[in-house]
Amino acid sequence: PTVLHLIRHGQADHNLHEDYDLPDTSLTPEGEQQSLALAYKIPNISSITCIYASPMRRTLQTALLTFRGVLHLRPDLRIIALPELQETSDFACDTGSSLAQLRLEFKSEPVDLSRLFEGWNDKKEGRFRPTTDLTEQRAGEARKIIRDEAEGTVAIVAHGGVNHYFTEDWEGSSSGSGTGWKNCEYRTYKF
């Protein structure tokens, strides 16, 4: 990509009261409004050629709302759900829904779930366990996938924690919320 817009999802149910036991949370009404407003903040949003998102409800919902105008104008464009972009902890709120559940929930939306597999959301065993080494490794894998596949202007909708690993920028990561990224914040990188 030549331009990359990295985005943290809008406010979700678990963000309201820091209730990390809520599974794969959805956006709050405030998070929906943040996502809609973000569409007006991203410069040249219509030039986006590729959209990736963590395969969790709040990130997919953020992407669908933020880019709905672009998706409407470009029916061939899909939001690619990339498991490497899922959040870094094994709390219920950071553990994704099953592939079957996501297929059902997003069946009529322009979301490509083909990169997911049974067990993509297993945080107890395998490569998505929340260890520093594995998280650094999958952030590197995500960077490589996007570098190899995407051209032009790319958008990525992910999470505050994984965004630090993806960018290797740790500013604000030791704050009380564990991230220096606000809900629906975006940062642009040019190459």
Query: In CATH, what number is assigned to the domain containing residue 148?
Result: 3.40.50.1240
pTM, two decimal places: 0.95
Strands of the sheet containing 186-190, edge to edge, are 111-112, 79-81, 48-53, 153-158, 3-8, 186-190
- To the nearest whole percent, how much of the chain has pLDDT over 70? 96
Query: What is the sign, positive or negative, of the torsion defined by CA atoms of 149, 155, 157, 162?
Result: positive
Average pLDDT over every residue of 134-146: 96
- Its domain, for residue 113, covers 3-190
Q: Is the pLDDT of residue 176 over 60?
A: no
| CA distance readout (Å), 168 to 8, 54, 55, 165 | 15, 18, 21, 5
> Tokens 């107890």 appear where?
124
Would you state the structure tokens that stand for residue 161, as one six-digit string?
């924690």
Q: Is the pLDDT of residue 175 over 60?
A: no
Q: Rounded to whole angstroms, how far apart are CA atoms 69 and 18?
A: 32
Given pLDDT bands bounded at 50, 70 and 90, which one contains residue 15? confident
Q: Which H or E element spans position 187?
A: strand 186-190
Domain total of the chain: 1
Relative to beta strand 186-190, strand 3-8 is antiparallel
